[in-house]
Amino acid sequence: MRRPQHHPLRSFMQKQQRTEKNTNQHDDDDHPLEGLPDDLVVFILCKLGSSASSPSDFINVLLTCKRLNRLALHRLVLSKLGARAFAVKPKNWSDSAHRFLSRCVTAGNVEACYTLGMIRFYCLRNRRSGLSLMAKAAMKSHAPALYSLAVIQFNGSGASKYDKDLSAGVALCTRASLLGHIDSLRELGYCLQDGYGARQNVAEGRRLLVEAHARELALVIREVTRSSSPSNSCMLTWLTRRLRNLACHSGSFLPLLEGYGGYGVAVQPVNWFMREWFESGRGSLGEGLRLCAHVGCGRPETRPHEFRRCSVCGKVNYCSRGCQALDWKLRHKTECSEVLRWVVVENDGVGAGAGAGAVVGGGNGDVVA
């Protein structure tokens, strides 16, 4: 009986496939993580995800190998990702990025709830879904989400000016300030000082403002301490404690830190995203709508004349009293200096003390001197 003849090309391809299979198997056996159990690898990936400084740190893990790709998408790993792991650039925003954030929300990631909520509410104009996600994060004591909901309540964002709820905004700021959120503490101080949404208490409002400034300065000192010599570190530590003690007192100590603030505020990645989203042209503002002038905010108006505007120059707008105070110290004080100098001369020095508290009007375009 004659034996069948094999095609030489087919034999060569089969041999090549066997060689590649053996090589891949040998490489997998030599991989340093191959001997580790899945539970330990997941634990390592959780630590990596929570401390990631950019999305690329996590993406590189997904591209390493099939096993790490599978384990990095584990529900526990996704629930531990930090805010910087979601710091995607507007130019890189896509449906896949949206789906990834949604998957992290499903996994129970609070930062993903807040980030996607802000993007949907302000950038994608899906108000109901965005508000629901921010509320979900706020119920888990996420301080930035509480503050964002407070700003929405103060402005009636996504609705009409008649839907403002000042008392709800104050309550949300109070809860966030108890969690150590500096922006909320500052906003609450201005509300009490001006009697905005709460009974006016100037002394308590000023105390909260000084405490917010002291906490900001303490953050800056902490960063400097990390790169300073031991002797300077001891001095800065003593100064931090002293500032905190002064912030707890009233009377003559209150004016000490009122000129500080705005230099150590940690800006959330989603705020940078929103500002770049609209300034780059990826998203368009409606007719007559403006962005908050504070560079670290990025919130847009949801209706015309929603935000406050500077009552001196009338050229800048702010979503909150806190944003106005920060921008005044960081930038707008210089831009408004010529106008302020004219006001001081006209009033024979009466306007010399005009600062952050005297140049912001109320919402809906009202100008209040």
Question: What tens digit of pLDDT does each residue of 182-191 get?
Answer: 999 999 999 9
Rank 14-23, 151-160, 244-253, 304-313 by mean pLDDT and report only the highest.
151-160
Q: State the chain's mean pLDDT as an integer.
A: 78
Q: What CATH number corresponds to the domain at position 56? A: 1.25.40
Tens digit of each residue's pLDDT (9 = 90 or more) over 140-157: 999 999 999 999 999 999
Looking at residue 239, what is its pLDDT?
Answer: 53
Residue 130 lies inside a defined structural domain of this protein: yes
Res 362 pLDDT > 50:
no
Residue 248 lies inside a defined structural domain of this protein: no
Mean pLDDT within 292-315: 88
Looking at residue 193, what is its pLDDT?
Answer: 92
Residue 187 lies inside a defined structural domain of this protein: no
Last residue of a domain, one of 140, 173, 190: 140
Q: Three-state SS across the chain?
A: CCCCCCCHHHHHHHHHHHHHHHHHHHHHHHCCCCCCCHHHHHHHHHHHHHCCCCHHHHHHHHCCCHHHHHHHCCHHHHHCCCHHHHCCCHHHCCHHHHHHHHHHHHCCCHHHHHHHHHHHHHHCCCHHHHHHHHHHHHCCCCHHHHHHHHHHHHHCCCCCHHHCCHHHHHHHHHHHHHCCCHHHHHHHHHHHHHCCCCCCCHHHHHHHHHHHHHHHHHHHHHHHHHCCCHHHHHHHHHHHHHHHHHHCCCHHHHHHHCCCCCCCCCCCHHHHHHHHHHHCCCCCCCCCCCECCCCCCCCECCCCCCCEEECCCCCCEECCHHHHHHHHHHHHHHHCHHHHHHHHHHCCCHHHHCCHHHCECCCCCCCCC
Confidence of residue 31 (pLDDT cuts 50, 70, 90): low
Res 230 pLDDT > 60:
no
Tens digit of each residue's pLDDT (9 = 90 or more) over 319-353: 998 888 888 888 888 777 655 555 544 444 433 33
Q: Lowest mean pLDDT: which of 128-132, 177-181, 237-241?
A: 237-241
Residue 227 lies inside a defined structural domain of this protein: no
Confidence of residue 35 (pLDDT cuts 50, 70, 90): confident
Last residue of a domain, one of 140, 169, 204: 140
Residue 188 lies inside a defined structural domain of this protein: no
Last residue of a domain, one of 109, 140, 171: 140
Looking at residue 229, what is its pLDDT?
Answer: 53
Higher pLDDT, 197 or 314: 197
Mean pLDDT within 149-168: 92
Residue 351 belongs to domain spanning: 269-358
Domain count for the chain: 2
Higher pLDDT, 366 or 219: 219
Residue 58 lies inside a defined structural domain of this protein: yes
Residue 82 lies inside a defined structural domain of this protein: yes
Residue 228 lies inside a defined structural domain of this protein: no
Tens digit of each residue's pLDDT (9 = 90 or more) over 80-135: 999 889 988 999 999 999 999 999 999 999 999 999 999 999 999 999 999 999 99
Looking at residue 311, what is its pLDDT?
Answer: 79
Mean pLDDT within 151-179: 93
